[in-house]
A and B are shown apart, each in its own frame.
Chain A
């Protein structure tokens, strides 16, 4: 597993064109199961999650991120567009530093 994606079937299909293996899920239980399985392998790799999946599994995702073990996560939009407003990395940093350290352009 170099790349792996968990998301809705259309997005998974798209990434499959780039040779990414994937689990198409459409409810929380399936998503959790797929995520647990993918994370448990601990193989070096990148795990892509669609926003929908990341929202469903918020707790697990955060816990895995802070555990600092592979596979490393990144969140991608699903192909039918973004889902509402998301917490950006910028906000994460702002929260940690306590002040804004960069200007908005």
Chain B
């Protein structure tokens, strides 16, 4: 049990009540946000897995071809060929917003395979390398979008999680405890003052009664006594 360090007064009680209301509202909202983020991540995860599997296949194929091409042709020869290769890849990026997170979307227009070097000094491995790497690149581009989204969503989820926890475990209990404490303190104060009031009333009543005792009852009650004496 922990409570905030405030004086138990009526005005503090009102302020805290409002704070508790806001905290509870925020908690509900954040929890919804967290759920949305988790759902979005799970949806992405499926696609990531799919693309990663595809990438692994294409990568293995492309890298194997390249290694072979390197072995047959040598690095410098390949570099000379590669120097003349040009593809017109076009990439457009934009962002969409999910649960307050800016998520990138990448649109890629991939250049299509075409022969860009002489046939005389190259072998089929070079062609194959080009085809394989174009495939690989296409997948890698798709993965870039997914990967970036996952990173951003995961970070946001972490943040949200922390806020939800802070509200749930610390702020809301603190407010509740403090409110209970204030309510108790106010009640006992009320009881105190009620008691004091009663005492005062009694005293006042006594003070009121006494003169009337003197005036009315003493003669009536006192006389027979005096008489018996």
Chain A interface residues toward B at CB < 8 A: 2-3, 9-10, 13-20, 44-46, 48, 65-66, 68, 70, 72-77, 79-80, 89-90, 92-93, 95-98, 101-102
Q: Kindly state whether residue B194 has any CB partner on chain A within 8 Å.
A: no
Given contacts A44-B93, A65-B151, A98-B161, contact A13 B75 (CB under 8 A): yes
CA distance A73 to B106 in the complex (A): 11
Majority secondary structure, B binding face: helix
Q: Which 3 A-B pairs have the closest CB atoms?
A: A19-B87, A18-B133, A96-B154
Verify B106–A46 contact, CB threshold 8 A: yes
Q: Which residues of A contact B87 (CB under 8 A)?
A: 18-19
CA distance A77 to B70 in the complex (A): 17
Verify A72–B148 contact, CB threshold 8 A: yes
Q: Kindly state whether residue B57 has any CB partner on chain A within 8 Å.
A: no
CB distance from B25 to the nearest CB of A (A): 24
Q: Which residues of B contact A16 (CB under 8 A)?
A: 79, 82-83, 85
0/1 interface trace, chain B 62-89, chain A, CB 8 Å (1 if under):
1100110010000100110011011111
Verify B85–A46 contact, CB threshold 8 A: no
CB distance from B204 to the nearest CB of A (A): 66
CB distance from A73 to the nearest CB of B (A): 7
For B64, the closest partner residue in chain A by CB is A79
Q: Which residues of B contact A14 (CB under 8 A)?
A: 62-63, 66, 129, 133
Q: Which residues of A contact B126 (CB under 8 A)?
A: 17
How many residue pairs link A and B with beta carbons under 8 A? The number is 135
Stretch in B11-19, B134-142, B180-188, B211-219 touching the partner: B134-142
Which of A13, A48, A68, A93 meets B45, CB within 8 Å?
A93
Verify A74–B89 contact, CB threshold 8 A: no
Q: Kindly state whether residue B147 has any CB partner on chain A within 8 Å.
A: yes
Interface centre among B67, B82, B143 (most CB of A within 10 A): B82
Verify A97–B157 contact, CB threshold 8 A: yes
Verify A17–B130 contact, CB threshold 8 A: yes
Verify B155–A77 contact, CB threshold 8 A: no
For B87, the closest partner residue in chain A by CB is A19
Q: Kindly state whether residue B144 has any CB partner on chain A within 8 Å.
A: yes
Verify A65–B148 contact, CB threshold 8 A: yes
Verify A68–B63 contact, CB threshold 8 A: no
Q: Which residues of B contact A96 (CB under 8 A)?
A: 41, 153-155, 157-158, 161
CA distance A10 to B129 in the complex (A): 13
Q: Which residues of B contact A97 (CB under 8 A)?
A: 38, 41, 157, 161
Given contacts A44-B93, A72-B93, A101-B38, contact A18 B136 (CB under 8 A): yes
For B136, the closest partner residue in chain A by CB is A18
Which of B42, B48, B129 meets A89, CB within 8 Å?
B48
Q: Which residues of B contact A76 (CB under 8 A)?
A: 59, 140
Q: Which residues of A contact B45 (CB under 8 A)?
A: 89-90, 93, 101-102
8 contacts between A and B (CB under 8 A): A2-B91, A10-B70, A17-B66, A18-B137, A19-B86, A72-B93, A72-B145, A96-B153
